[in-house]
Structure 1
Amino acid sequence: MNKALTVSIIFKASSLNYGEGTANVSELKKFHRGNGEVYSFASRQALRYDIVRLGNQFFDWNLDVVDKSQKVVQFKEDCTIVDSVEMDLFGYMKTKVKQGADKRSAVVRLSHAVSLEPYRSDFEFLNNMGLATRIKENADLATLEQHESLYTYTLTLDLGRVGIDGEIELSNEEKANRVKQLIEITKHLSREIRGRQENLAPLFIIGGMYPIANPFFLGRISLKNFDTRILDTAQLASVLEQSAFGKSLHALTKVGLVGGVFANEKEITELANTVSIEAFYQNLLHEVDNYYKVLV
Protein backbone atom coordinates (compact mmCIF):
# COMPACT_ATOMS: atom_id res chain seq x y z
CA MET A 1 0.00 0.00 0.00
CA ASN A 2 1.25 3.44 -0.89
CA LYS A 3 2.30 5.72 1.94
CA ALA A 4 3.22 9.35 2.39
CA LEU A 5 4.84 11.40 5.09
CA THR A 6 3.94 14.82 6.30
CA VAL A 7 5.50 16.93 9.03
CA SER A 8 4.69 20.40 10.32
CA ILE A 9 7.58 22.20 11.95
CA ILE A 10 8.02 25.22 14.22
CA PHE A 11 11.38 27.00 14.37
CA LYS A 12 12.64 30.36 15.59
CA ALA A 13 14.39 32.79 13.25
CA SER A 14 14.72 36.40 12.20
CA SER A 15 13.86 38.22 8.95
CA LEU A 16 13.99 35.31 6.51
CA ASN A 17 12.86 36.68 3.15
CA TYR A 18 12.91 40.15 1.60
CA GLY A 19 10.90 41.44 -1.35
CA GLU A 20 11.62 44.24 -3.82
CA GLY A 21 11.72 47.11 -1.31
CA THR A 22 11.36 50.85 -1.89
CA ALA A 23 14.26 53.29 -2.29
CA ASN A 24 16.80 52.30 0.41
CA VAL A 25 14.26 50.34 2.51
CA SER A 26 14.36 46.54 2.26
CA GLU A 27 10.88 45.19 2.94
CA LEU A 28 10.11 41.77 4.35
CA LYS A 29 7.73 39.49 2.51
CA LYS A 30 4.55 39.70 4.56
CA PHE A 31 0.76 39.65 4.41
CA HIS A 32 -2.18 41.13 6.28
CA ARG A 33 -4.91 39.14 8.02
CA GLY A 34 -8.53 40.17 8.44
CA ASN A 35 -7.91 41.30 12.02
CA GLY A 36 -5.33 43.83 10.83
CA GLU A 37 -2.29 41.89 12.02
CA VAL A 38 0.75 41.62 9.74
CA TYR A 39 2.79 38.40 9.47
CA SER A 40 6.11 37.86 7.71
CA PHE A 41 6.94 34.72 5.77
CA ALA A 42 9.67 32.90 3.89
CA SER A 43 8.36 31.63 0.57
CA ARG A 44 8.31 27.95 -0.30
CA GLN A 45 10.79 28.82 -3.10
CA ALA A 46 13.21 30.17 -0.47
CA LEU A 47 12.86 26.97 1.57
CA ARG A 48 13.44 24.86 -1.52
CA TYR A 49 16.55 26.88 -2.39
CA ASP A 50 18.11 26.20 1.00
CA ILE A 51 17.10 22.54 1.00
CA VAL A 52 18.82 22.07 -2.36
CA ARG A 53 21.84 24.12 -1.21
CA LEU A 54 22.27 21.87 1.82
CA GLY A 55 21.58 18.77 -0.27
CA ASN A 56 24.61 19.70 -2.34
CA GLN A 57 26.64 20.58 0.75
CA PHE A 58 25.74 17.50 2.83
CA PHE A 59 25.13 14.81 0.20
CA ASP A 60 26.75 16.15 -2.98
CA TRP A 61 23.49 16.61 -4.87
CA ASN A 62 24.31 17.38 -8.50
CA LEU A 63 23.58 21.05 -9.27
CA ASP A 64 25.19 21.00 -12.74
CA VAL A 65 21.88 20.20 -14.41
CA VAL A 66 20.84 23.67 -15.61
CA ASP A 67 21.52 25.62 -18.80
CA LYS A 68 19.88 28.26 -20.97
CA SER A 69 18.10 26.48 -23.78
CA GLN A 70 15.09 27.66 -25.79
CA LYS A 71 16.09 31.14 -24.44
CA VAL A 72 14.97 30.01 -20.97
CA VAL A 73 17.03 29.06 -17.91
CA GLN A 74 15.86 25.54 -17.15
CA PHE A 75 16.99 21.98 -16.49
CA LYS A 76 19.14 20.45 -19.24
CA GLU A 77 17.22 18.47 -21.82
CA ASP A 78 19.40 15.38 -21.40
CA CYS A 79 19.29 15.37 -17.59
CA THR A 80 16.86 13.03 -15.81
CA ILE A 81 15.99 12.10 -12.24
CA VAL A 82 18.87 9.62 -12.41
CA ASP A 83 21.23 12.61 -12.52
CA SER A 84 19.40 14.91 -10.13
CA VAL A 85 17.81 14.38 -6.73
CA GLU A 86 16.41 17.90 -7.07
CA MET A 87 14.55 17.03 -10.29
CA ASP A 88 13.26 13.87 -8.66
CA LEU A 89 11.93 15.48 -5.48
CA PHE A 90 10.94 18.95 -6.68
CA GLY A 91 9.92 18.31 -10.28
CA TYR A 92 10.83 20.12 -13.48
CA MET A 93 9.55 21.66 -16.69
CA LYS A 94 11.58 21.59 -19.91
CA THR A 95 10.10 23.74 -22.65
CA LYS A 96 10.56 22.95 -26.33
CA VAL A 97 9.79 25.30 -29.21
CA LYS A 98 6.48 24.35 -30.84
CA GLN A 99 6.49 21.08 -28.88
CA GLY A 100 5.06 22.14 -25.54
CA ALA A 101 6.99 21.03 -22.47
CA ASP A 102 8.14 17.95 -20.59
CA LYS A 103 6.87 18.20 -17.03
CA ARG A 104 7.21 16.37 -13.75
CA SER A 105 5.15 17.60 -10.84
CA ALA A 106 6.87 17.91 -7.48
CA VAL A 107 6.93 14.86 -5.24
CA VAL A 108 7.77 17.08 -2.26
CA ARG A 109 5.28 19.81 -1.42
CA LEU A 110 6.33 22.72 0.78
CA SER A 111 4.24 25.47 2.31
CA HIS A 112 5.51 28.97 3.03
CA ALA A 113 7.18 29.36 6.44
CA VAL A 114 4.76 31.78 8.12
CA SER A 115 5.46 33.70 11.31
CA LEU A 116 3.36 32.80 14.34
CA GLU A 117 3.94 36.20 15.94
CA PRO A 118 2.78 39.45 14.26
CA TYR A 119 5.19 41.95 12.75
CA ARG A 120 5.31 45.23 14.70
CA SER A 121 7.13 47.46 12.18
CA ASP A 122 10.61 47.07 13.67
CA PHE A 123 13.46 48.52 11.58
CA GLU A 124 17.22 48.29 11.53
CA PHE A 125 19.16 51.35 10.39
CA LEU A 126 22.58 50.63 8.92
CA ASN A 127 25.36 52.14 6.84
CA ASN A 128 28.76 51.33 5.39
CA MET A 129 30.70 53.75 7.55
CA GLY A 130 33.47 51.24 8.12
CA LEU A 131 34.35 51.30 4.43
CA ALA A 132 33.50 54.94 3.76
CA THR A 133 35.79 56.33 6.46
CA ARG A 134 38.76 54.54 4.93
CA ILE A 135 38.55 56.82 1.91
CA LYS A 136 37.05 59.81 3.73
CA GLU A 137 33.66 59.56 2.02
CA ASN A 138 30.13 59.89 3.40
CA ALA A 139 28.47 56.62 4.32
CA ASP A 140 25.58 55.15 2.30
CA LEU A 141 22.43 54.57 4.35
CA ALA A 142 19.96 51.71 4.30
CA THR A 143 17.01 50.48 6.35
CA LEU A 144 15.91 46.88 6.87
CA GLU A 145 12.60 45.65 8.22
CA GLN A 146 13.32 43.21 11.03
CA HIS A 147 11.13 40.53 12.58
CA GLU A 148 12.17 37.81 15.01
CA SER A 149 9.47 35.20 15.50
CA LEU A 150 8.50 31.57 15.65
CA TYR A 151 7.69 30.31 12.16
CA THR A 152 5.89 27.22 10.91
CA TYR A 153 5.93 25.32 7.62
CA THR A 154 4.70 21.95 6.38
CA LEU A 155 6.38 19.37 4.16
CA THR A 156 4.46 16.55 2.47
CA LEU A 157 6.00 13.77 0.37
CA ASP A 158 4.37 10.92 -1.58
CA LEU A 159 6.74 7.98 -1.10
CA GLY A 160 5.21 6.03 -3.98
CA ARG A 161 6.25 8.65 -6.55
CA VAL A 162 9.89 9.02 -5.55
CA GLY A 163 12.36 7.72 -8.15
CA ILE A 164 9.74 7.06 -10.83
CA ASP A 165 9.49 9.18 -14.01
CA GLY A 166 8.00 7.65 -17.13
CA GLU A 167 10.07 4.60 -18.03
CA ILE A 168 12.72 5.45 -15.46
CA GLU A 169 12.57 3.77 -12.06
CA LEU A 170 15.37 3.88 -9.52
CA SER A 171 16.16 1.10 -7.08
CA ASN A 172 14.27 1.03 -3.79
CA GLU A 173 17.57 1.55 -2.00
CA GLU A 174 18.18 4.78 -3.93
CA LYS A 175 14.60 5.93 -3.35
CA ALA A 176 15.01 5.40 0.39
CA ASN A 177 18.38 7.19 0.41
CA ARG A 178 16.91 10.26 -1.29
CA VAL A 179 13.99 10.50 1.10
CA LYS A 180 16.25 10.02 4.12
CA GLN A 181 18.60 12.72 2.87
CA LEU A 182 15.70 15.14 2.60
CA ILE A 183 14.58 14.26 6.14
CA GLU A 184 18.10 14.82 7.48
CA ILE A 185 18.26 18.20 5.76
CA THR A 186 15.08 19.42 7.48
CA LYS A 187 16.61 18.44 10.82
CA HIS A 188 19.58 20.75 10.17
CA LEU A 189 17.93 23.30 7.89
CA SER A 190 19.42 26.78 7.84
CA ARG A 191 19.13 29.90 5.73
CA GLU A 192 21.94 32.19 4.63
CA ILE A 193 20.70 35.75 4.20
CA ARG A 194 22.36 39.18 4.36
CA GLY A 195 25.47 37.99 6.16
CA ARG A 196 23.50 35.91 8.68
CA GLN A 197 22.94 32.19 8.98
CA GLU A 198 19.52 31.55 10.49
CA ASN A 199 18.79 28.24 12.21
CA LEU A 200 15.59 26.67 10.85
CA ALA A 201 15.96 23.43 12.81
CA PRO A 202 12.76 22.26 14.54
CA LEU A 203 11.78 23.30 18.05
CA PHE A 204 8.50 21.42 17.56
CA ILE A 205 7.57 18.86 14.93
CA ILE A 206 4.40 16.84 14.45
CA GLY A 207 3.61 14.22 11.82
CA GLY A 208 4.52 10.77 10.59
CA MET A 209 3.68 8.26 7.87
CA TYR A 210 0.11 8.12 6.56
CA PRO A 211 -1.90 6.29 3.88
CA ILE A 212 -2.37 9.49 1.84
CA ALA A 213 -0.24 12.51 0.94
CA ASN A 214 -2.16 15.16 2.83
CA PRO A 215 -0.74 18.07 4.89
CA PHE A 216 -2.93 17.27 7.90
CA PHE A 217 -1.45 19.88 10.24
CA LEU A 218 -1.03 22.74 7.77
CA GLY A 219 -3.03 25.75 8.98
CA ARG A 220 -3.62 24.12 12.37
CA ILE A 221 -0.62 25.58 14.19
CA SER A 222 -0.97 28.89 16.01
CA LEU A 223 -0.15 30.58 19.31
CA LYS A 224 -2.84 31.38 21.87
CA ASN A 225 -0.57 33.82 23.67
CA PHE A 226 2.37 35.64 22.09
CA ASP A 227 4.01 36.78 25.34
CA THR A 228 4.32 33.37 27.00
CA ARG A 229 4.25 31.34 23.78
CA ILE A 230 1.32 29.08 24.48
CA LEU A 231 0.74 26.72 21.55
CA ASP A 232 -2.92 26.24 20.62
CA THR A 233 -3.29 22.48 21.10
CA ALA A 234 -7.06 22.39 20.53
CA GLN A 235 -6.67 22.65 16.74
CA LEU A 236 -4.06 19.89 16.65
CA ALA A 237 -6.13 17.66 18.94
CA SER A 238 -9.12 17.98 16.61
CA VAL A 239 -6.98 16.82 13.67
CA LEU A 240 -5.70 13.85 15.66
CA GLU A 241 -9.28 12.71 16.29
CA GLN A 242 -9.70 12.09 12.55
CA SER A 243 -8.92 8.99 10.52
CA ALA A 244 -7.62 8.43 6.98
CA PHE A 245 -8.70 5.32 5.09
CA GLY A 246 -9.61 3.65 8.36
CA LYS A 247 -6.31 4.53 10.06
CA SER A 248 -6.35 6.66 13.22
CA LEU A 249 -4.24 9.79 12.79
CA HIS A 250 -3.53 9.78 16.52
CA ALA A 251 -2.04 6.29 16.31
CA LEU A 252 0.18 7.24 13.36
CA THR A 253 1.40 10.58 14.71
CA LYS A 254 4.35 11.50 16.87
CA VAL A 255 5.43 14.83 18.34
CA GLY A 256 9.04 15.96 18.69
CA LEU A 257 9.74 18.74 21.14
CA VAL A 258 12.60 20.89 22.44
CA GLY A 259 12.00 21.60 26.12
CA GLY A 260 11.59 25.08 27.54
CA VAL A 261 10.18 26.76 24.41
CA PHE A 262 6.43 26.69 25.09
CA ALA A 263 4.70 27.62 28.34
CA ASN A 264 2.17 24.79 27.97
CA GLU A 265 4.73 22.06 27.36
CA LYS A 266 2.85 19.46 29.44
CA GLU A 267 -0.31 20.07 27.43
CA ILE A 268 1.64 19.59 24.20
CA THR A 269 3.11 16.27 25.34
CA GLU A 270 -0.43 14.95 25.90
CA LEU A 271 -1.38 15.45 22.24
CA ALA A 272 0.32 12.29 20.99
CA ASN A 273 3.36 10.10 21.61
CA THR A 274 5.96 12.79 22.39
CA VAL A 275 9.71 12.26 22.08
CA SER A 276 12.86 14.31 21.58
CA ILE A 277 13.55 15.87 18.18
CA GLU A 278 16.32 13.33 17.58
CA ALA A 279 14.08 10.37 18.48
CA PHE A 280 11.35 11.74 16.18
CA TYR A 281 13.75 11.83 13.23
CA GLN A 282 15.26 8.43 13.96
CA ASN A 283 11.77 6.93 14.01
CA LEU A 284 10.88 8.62 10.70
CA LEU A 285 14.08 7.37 9.04
CA HIS A 286 13.33 3.86 10.32
CA GLU A 287 9.80 3.97 8.89
CA VAL A 288 11.12 5.09 5.49
CA ASP A 289 13.58 2.19 5.44
CA ASN A 290 10.83 -0.27 6.36
CA TYR A 291 8.49 1.06 3.66
CA TYR A 292 10.99 0.57 0.83
CA LYS A 293 12.20 -2.81 2.14
CA VAL A 294 8.64 -4.14 1.96
CA LEU A 295 8.51 -3.16 -1.73
CA VAL A 296 11.57 -5.26 -2.60
Structure 2
Amino acid sequence: MNRKGLTITYIVKAFPCNYDEGYGNVSIAKKIHRGSGETFLFTSRQALRYSIVNWLVEHGIWKYAQLTSEQGVKQYDPKQLKKEFPEEADLFGYMITAGRGRQAQTRAAVARLTHLISFEPWFGDQELLTNKNFADRLGENPDMANIETGYGYYKYSLSVDLDKVGKDENFGHNLSKEEKIKRVCDLIEATKFLYRDIRGRREDLKPIFVIGGVYHKKSLFFHNAVNVIFKGSKPFINYESLKQVLEAKYTVSEKEIKIIGDLTHLGIQKGEFGDDFGITVSPFDALDRIKEEVEKAFNEKK
Protein backbone atom coordinates (compact mmCIF):
# COMPACT_ATOMS: atom_id res chain seq x y z
CA MET A 1 0.00 0.00 0.00
CA ASN A 2 1.44 3.36 -1.08
CA ARG A 3 -1.20 5.70 0.33
CA LYS A 4 -1.59 4.88 4.01
CA GLY A 5 -3.15 8.01 5.51
CA LEU A 6 -6.84 8.92 5.30
CA THR A 7 -7.81 12.30 6.72
CA ILE A 8 -11.07 14.24 6.47
CA THR A 9 -12.06 17.51 8.15
CA TYR A 10 -15.75 18.34 8.56
CA ILE A 11 -17.80 21.44 9.33
CA VAL A 12 -21.20 20.91 11.00
CA LYS A 13 -23.78 23.22 12.58
CA ALA A 14 -25.48 22.35 15.85
CA PHE A 15 -26.43 23.15 19.42
CA PRO A 16 -24.13 21.88 22.24
CA CYS A 17 -23.69 18.10 22.09
CA ASN A 18 -21.77 17.39 25.29
CA TYR A 19 -22.11 18.45 28.94
CA ASP A 20 -19.91 18.43 32.04
CA GLU A 21 -20.99 17.89 35.62
CA GLY A 22 -23.39 20.66 36.57
CA TYR A 23 -24.29 22.26 39.87
CA GLY A 24 -27.68 22.82 41.43
CA ASN A 25 -30.22 23.00 38.62
CA VAL A 26 -27.72 24.25 35.98
CA SER A 27 -26.36 21.96 33.23
CA ILE A 28 -22.88 23.02 32.08
CA ALA A 29 -21.86 22.64 28.44
CA LYS A 30 -18.31 21.47 27.75
CA LYS A 31 -16.12 24.45 26.92
CA ILE A 32 -12.55 25.68 26.75
CA HIS A 33 -10.97 29.13 27.16
CA ARG A 34 -8.43 30.76 24.85
CA GLY A 35 -5.74 33.33 25.51
CA SER A 36 -7.94 35.91 23.83
CA GLY A 37 -10.31 35.57 26.78
CA GLU A 38 -12.97 33.98 24.59
CA THR A 39 -14.83 30.79 25.49
CA PHE A 40 -15.58 28.06 22.94
CA LEU A 41 -17.95 25.10 23.14
CA PHE A 42 -16.72 21.63 22.27
CA THR A 43 -17.79 18.00 22.18
CA SER A 44 -15.24 15.38 23.17
CA ARG A 45 -13.88 12.87 20.70
CA GLN A 46 -15.22 10.13 23.02
CA ALA A 47 -18.74 11.47 22.53
CA LEU A 48 -18.24 11.56 18.76
CA ARG A 49 -16.99 7.98 18.78
CA TYR A 50 -20.04 6.93 20.82
CA SER A 51 -22.43 8.53 18.31
CA ILE A 52 -20.63 7.07 15.28
CA VAL A 53 -20.59 3.52 16.65
CA ASN A 54 -24.24 3.83 17.73
CA TRP A 55 -25.22 5.05 14.26
CA LEU A 56 -23.55 2.05 12.64
CA VAL A 57 -25.17 -0.39 15.06
CA GLU A 58 -28.63 1.18 14.82
CA HIS A 59 -28.50 0.92 11.03
CA GLY A 60 -27.49 -2.74 11.11
CA ILE A 61 -24.04 -2.15 9.61
CA TRP A 62 -22.02 -3.12 12.71
CA LYS A 63 -22.75 -5.16 15.82
CA TYR A 64 -21.57 -4.16 19.27
CA ALA A 65 -18.52 -6.06 20.43
CA GLN A 66 -19.10 -8.34 23.41
CA LEU A 67 -18.04 -6.96 26.80
CA THR A 68 -17.00 -8.44 30.12
CA SER A 69 -16.14 -7.24 33.62
CA GLU A 70 -14.61 -10.50 34.88
CA GLN A 71 -11.28 -8.83 35.76
CA GLY A 72 -13.03 -6.00 37.57
CA VAL A 73 -12.67 -3.82 34.48
CA LYS A 74 -15.31 -3.16 31.85
CA GLN A 75 -13.64 -4.13 28.57
CA TYR A 76 -13.97 -6.12 25.36
CA ASP A 77 -14.34 -9.85 25.94
CA PRO A 78 -10.99 -11.51 25.06
CA LYS A 79 -12.83 -14.75 24.30
CA GLN A 80 -14.54 -13.03 21.39
CA LEU A 81 -11.34 -11.31 20.27
CA LYS A 82 -9.66 -14.70 19.98
CA LYS A 83 -12.37 -15.89 17.60
CA GLU A 84 -13.19 -12.74 15.64
CA PHE A 85 -12.21 -9.11 15.30
CA PRO A 86 -15.20 -6.74 15.89
CA GLU A 87 -15.16 -3.48 13.95
CA GLU A 88 -15.06 -1.13 16.95
CA ALA A 89 -12.16 -3.02 18.58
CA ASP A 90 -10.30 -2.99 15.26
CA LEU A 91 -10.72 0.70 14.45
CA PHE A 92 -10.86 2.31 17.89
CA GLY A 93 -8.44 0.06 19.76
CA TYR A 94 -8.56 -1.67 23.14
CA MET A 95 -6.72 -2.61 26.32
CA ILE A 96 -7.40 -6.08 27.71
CA THR A 97 -6.29 -6.57 31.31
CA ALA A 98 -5.28 -10.11 32.23
CA GLY A 99 -5.13 -9.92 36.01
CA ARG A 100 -2.60 -8.83 38.60
CA GLY A 101 1.01 -9.39 37.61
CA ARG A 102 0.18 -10.08 33.96
CA GLN A 103 0.80 -7.64 31.12
CA ALA A 104 -2.24 -6.12 29.44
CA GLN A 105 -2.83 -6.61 25.73
CA THR A 106 -3.28 -3.29 23.95
CA ARG A 107 -4.13 -2.08 20.50
CA ALA A 108 -3.77 1.59 19.63
CA ALA A 109 -6.67 3.14 17.74
CA VAL A 110 -6.17 3.20 13.98
CA ALA A 111 -9.18 5.49 13.48
CA ARG A 112 -8.85 8.70 15.44
CA LEU A 113 -11.15 11.66 15.99
CA THR A 114 -10.42 15.17 17.18
CA HIS A 115 -12.75 17.02 19.50
CA LEU A 116 -15.68 18.81 17.87
CA ILE A 117 -14.72 22.46 18.45
CA SER A 118 -16.81 25.57 17.76
CA PHE A 119 -15.64 28.40 15.52
CA GLU A 120 -17.74 31.00 17.32
CA PRO A 121 -17.20 32.13 20.92
CA TRP A 122 -19.84 31.29 23.50
CA PHE A 123 -21.76 34.30 24.80
CA GLY A 124 -23.21 32.77 27.95
CA ASP A 125 -26.59 31.80 26.48
CA GLN A 126 -28.86 29.73 28.70
CA GLU A 127 -32.18 28.00 28.21
CA LEU A 128 -34.81 27.84 30.95
CA LEU A 129 -36.46 24.43 31.25
CA THR A 130 -39.65 23.62 33.18
CA ASN A 131 -42.04 20.71 33.57
CA LYS A 132 -44.96 23.09 33.21
CA ASN A 133 -47.16 20.62 31.37
CA PHE A 134 -46.95 18.03 34.12
CA ALA A 135 -47.31 20.72 36.80
CA ASP A 136 -50.45 22.13 35.16
CA ARG A 137 -51.96 18.67 34.92
CA LEU A 138 -51.32 18.18 38.63
CA GLY A 139 -52.40 21.71 39.54
CA GLU A 140 -48.97 22.41 41.09
CA ASN A 141 -46.10 24.87 40.53
CA PRO A 142 -43.51 23.79 37.94
CA ASP A 143 -39.89 22.88 38.69
CA MET A 144 -37.26 24.88 36.80
CA ALA A 145 -33.73 24.24 35.53
CA ASN A 146 -31.21 26.03 33.31
CA ILE A 147 -29.09 24.56 30.55
CA GLU A 148 -26.21 26.31 28.82
CA THR A 149 -26.80 26.56 25.09
CA GLY A 150 -25.60 28.07 21.83
CA TYR A 151 -25.87 27.50 18.09
CA GLY A 152 -23.09 27.65 15.56
CA TYR A 153 -20.46 26.06 13.39
CA TYR A 154 -18.08 23.34 14.60
CA LYS A 155 -15.25 21.36 13.04
CA TYR A 156 -13.71 17.96 13.68
CA SER A 157 -11.33 15.66 11.84
CA LEU A 158 -11.18 11.93 11.23
CA SER A 159 -7.93 10.12 10.42
CA VAL A 160 -7.32 6.43 9.72
CA ASP A 161 -4.04 4.50 9.43
CA LEU A 162 -5.10 2.38 6.48
CA ASP A 163 -2.10 0.06 6.67
CA LYS A 164 -3.08 -1.03 10.19
CA VAL A 165 -6.78 -1.72 9.63
CA GLY A 166 -7.77 -5.34 10.16
CA LYS A 167 -4.38 -6.46 11.48
CA ASP A 168 -3.96 -7.50 15.10
CA GLU A 169 -0.84 -9.17 16.47
CA ASN A 170 -2.33 -9.86 19.90
CA PHE A 171 -4.94 -12.30 18.61
CA GLY A 172 -3.46 -13.12 15.21
CA HIS A 173 -6.05 -11.49 12.96
CA ASN A 174 -5.44 -10.30 9.39
CA LEU A 175 -8.73 -9.67 7.64
CA SER A 176 -9.31 -9.81 3.91
CA LYS A 177 -8.70 -6.74 1.82
CA GLU A 178 -12.40 -6.51 1.04
CA GLU A 179 -13.33 -6.48 4.74
CA LYS A 180 -10.72 -3.81 5.51
CA ILE A 181 -12.12 -1.59 2.76
CA LYS A 182 -15.67 -2.14 3.99
CA ARG A 183 -14.83 -1.17 7.57
CA VAL A 184 -13.21 2.11 6.56
CA CYS A 185 -15.97 2.97 4.09
CA ASP A 186 -18.66 2.15 6.67
CA LEU A 187 -16.98 4.58 9.05
CA ILE A 188 -17.03 7.33 6.41
CA GLU A 189 -20.66 6.51 5.62
CA ALA A 190 -21.60 7.08 9.25
CA THR A 191 -20.18 10.61 9.13
CA LYS A 192 -22.33 11.42 6.08
CA PHE A 193 -25.58 11.16 8.02
CA LEU A 194 -24.42 11.42 11.61
CA TYR A 195 -26.60 12.70 14.44
CA ARG A 196 -26.28 12.81 18.19
CA ASP A 197 -29.11 12.24 20.67
CA ILE A 198 -28.59 14.50 23.68
CA ARG A 199 -31.03 15.70 26.35
CA GLY A 200 -34.14 14.92 24.34
CA ARG A 201 -32.73 16.55 21.20
CA ARG A 202 -31.49 14.92 18.02
CA GLU A 203 -28.67 17.14 16.81
CA ASP A 204 -27.91 17.01 13.09
CA LEU A 205 -24.17 16.41 12.57
CA LYS A 206 -24.30 15.88 8.81
CA PRO A 207 -21.43 17.82 7.20
CA ILE A 208 -22.03 21.10 5.43
CA PHE A 209 -18.40 21.21 4.30
CA VAL A 210 -15.77 18.46 3.95
CA ILE A 211 -12.21 18.34 2.72
CA GLY A 212 -9.89 15.36 2.68
CA GLY A 213 -8.48 12.39 0.85
CA VAL A 214 -6.05 9.48 0.99
CA TYR A 215 -2.36 10.38 1.08
CA HIS A 216 1.11 8.86 1.22
CA LYS A 217 1.77 10.77 4.45
CA LYS A 218 -0.23 10.46 7.66
CA SER A 219 -1.24 13.96 8.76
CA LEU A 220 -4.24 16.04 9.76
CA PHE A 221 -3.52 18.24 6.76
CA PHE A 222 -6.60 20.43 7.01
CA HIS A 223 -7.68 20.52 10.65
CA ASN A 224 -5.96 23.77 11.60
CA ALA A 225 -6.46 25.26 8.12
CA VAL A 226 -10.28 25.02 8.15
CA ASN A 227 -11.76 28.18 9.66
CA VAL A 228 -15.06 30.03 9.46
CA ILE A 229 -14.95 33.83 9.60
CA PHE A 230 -17.84 36.28 9.66
CA LYS A 231 -18.13 39.31 7.41
CA GLY A 232 -21.03 41.17 8.92
CA SER A 233 -23.65 38.51 9.57
CA LYS A 234 -22.53 36.19 6.77
CA PRO A 235 -20.16 33.25 7.44
CA PHE A 236 -17.30 32.55 5.05
CA ILE A 237 -14.81 29.70 4.89
CA ASN A 238 -11.30 31.14 4.98
CA TYR A 239 -10.11 29.73 1.69
CA GLU A 240 -6.71 31.41 1.81
CA SER A 241 -5.54 29.17 4.66
CA LEU A 242 -6.84 26.10 2.83
CA LYS A 243 -5.13 27.17 -0.38
CA GLN A 244 -1.74 27.14 1.34
CA VAL A 245 -2.22 23.48 2.29
CA LEU A 246 -3.70 22.47 -1.06
CA GLU A 247 -0.68 23.94 -2.88
CA ALA A 248 1.83 22.32 -0.52
CA LYS A 249 3.98 19.40 -1.72
CA TYR A 250 5.42 16.33 -0.07
CA THR A 251 8.05 13.84 -1.20
CA VAL A 252 7.06 10.24 -1.88
CA SER A 253 10.42 9.13 -3.27
CA GLU A 254 13.47 10.63 -4.93
CA LYS A 255 11.57 10.67 -8.20
CA GLU A 256 8.05 11.42 -7.00
CA ILE A 257 6.64 14.57 -5.42
CA LYS A 258 2.92 15.01 -4.78
CA ILE A 259 0.82 18.17 -4.54
CA ILE A 260 -1.73 17.76 -1.73
CA GLY A 261 -4.52 19.39 -3.72
CA ASP A 262 -4.21 16.79 -6.49
CA LEU A 263 -5.28 14.07 -4.04
CA THR A 264 -7.96 16.10 -2.24
CA HIS A 265 -11.74 16.18 -2.53
CA LEU A 266 -13.91 19.08 -1.35
CA GLY A 267 -17.65 19.33 -0.87
CA ILE A 268 -19.84 22.21 0.26
CA GLN A 269 -23.53 22.72 0.97
CA LYS A 270 -24.90 25.29 -1.43
CA GLY A 271 -26.05 28.60 0.07
CA GLU A 272 -24.62 27.97 3.54
CA PHE A 273 -21.59 30.24 3.22
CA GLY A 274 -20.98 33.59 1.60
CA ASP A 275 -18.80 32.10 -1.14
CA ASP A 276 -18.57 28.52 -2.40
CA PHE A 277 -15.37 29.20 -4.41
CA GLY A 278 -16.82 27.50 -7.45
CA ILE A 279 -17.12 24.14 -5.68
CA THR A 280 -20.07 22.29 -7.20
CA VAL A 281 -19.67 18.99 -5.32
CA SER A 282 -21.89 18.29 -2.29
CA PRO A 283 -20.37 17.03 0.99
CA PHE A 284 -22.06 13.66 0.40
CA ASP A 285 -20.57 13.26 -3.08
CA ALA A 286 -17.15 14.32 -1.82
CA LEU A 287 -17.25 11.62 0.87
CA ASP A 288 -18.30 9.03 -1.72
CA ARG A 289 -15.29 10.01 -3.83
CA ILE A 290 -13.02 9.63 -0.81
CA LYS A 291 -14.46 6.15 -0.25
CA GLU A 292 -13.49 5.33 -3.84
CA GLU A 293 -9.96 6.52 -3.07
CA VAL A 294 -9.84 4.21 -0.05
CA GLU A 295 -10.63 1.24 -2.28
CA LYS A 296 -8.01 2.33 -4.80
CA ALA A 297 -5.39 2.71 -2.05
CA PHE A 298 -5.92 -0.86 -0.84
CA ASN A 299 -5.62 -2.13 -4.42
CA GLU A 300 -2.53 -0.14 -5.36
CA LYS A 301 0.66 -2.10 -5.92
CA LYS A 302 3.77 -1.01 -4.07
Give the match's secondary structure for 1:147: coil
2:105 aligned with 1:102, yes or no?
yes
Letter in 2 for 1:76: D
State the Cα distance separating 1:4 from its structure 2 match: 1.7
2:151 corresponds to which of 148, 152, 171: 148
- Distance in 2, Cα, partners of 1:277 & 1:2: 22
Letter in 2 for 1:202: P
Letter in 2 for 1:161: K
Q: Deviations over 1:124-182 (max 9, x none)?
A: 00111222333333322110001101110000111111100012100001111111111
- Distance in 1, Cα, partners of 2:61 & 2:184: 15
State the Cα distance separating 1:205 from its structure 2 match: 0.3
Q: Deviations over 1:20-66 (max 9, x none)?
A: 01111001000111111111001000000001001111234221411
2:275 matched to which residue of 1?
264
Aligned residues: 291
State the Cα distance separating 1:2 from its structure 2 match: 4.1
- Distance in 2, Cα, partners of 1:288 & 1:73: 33
Task: Report the RMSD for the aligned CA atoms in angstroms.
Answer: 1.8
Distance 1:50 1:240, change over 3 A: same
1:278 corresponds to which of 255, 278, 284: 284
Letter in 2 for 1:88: D
2:87 corresponds to which of 78, 85, 88: 85
- Distance in 1, Cα, partners of 2:66 & 2:301: 30
Letter in 2 for 1:119: W
1:190 corresponds to which of 186, 190, 195: 195
Normalising by structure 2, what TM-score?
A: 0.91
TM alignment of 1:202-221, pairs within 5 A: 202-221=207-226
2:127 matched to which residue of 1?
124
Give the match's secondary structure for 2:159: strand
Letter in 1 for 2:57: N
2:246 matched to which residue of 1?
240
Tell whether the 8 Å contact from 2:265 to 2:290 is kept in structure 1 after alignment: no
The gaps in structure 2 that reach 5 residues or longer are 252-256
- Distance in 2, Cα, partners of 1:61 & 1:155: 19
Identity %, equivalent residues: 39
2:251 aligned with 1:250, yes or no?
no
Normalising by structure 1, what TM-score?
A: 0.93
Deviates more, 1:248-257 or 1:77-86: 77-86
Deviates more, 1:277-286 or 1:160-169: 277-286
- Distance in 1, Cα, partners of 2:69 & 2:131: 36
The gaps in structure 1 that reach 5 residues or longer are none
- Distance in 1, Cα, partners of 2:129 & 2:284: 39
Tell whether the 8 Å contact from 2:21 to 2:28 is kept in structure 1 after alignment: yes
1:289 corresponds to which of 282, 290, 295: 295
State the Cα distance separating 1:288 from its structure 2 match: 1.8
- Distance in 2, Cα, partners of 1:133 & 1:100: 59
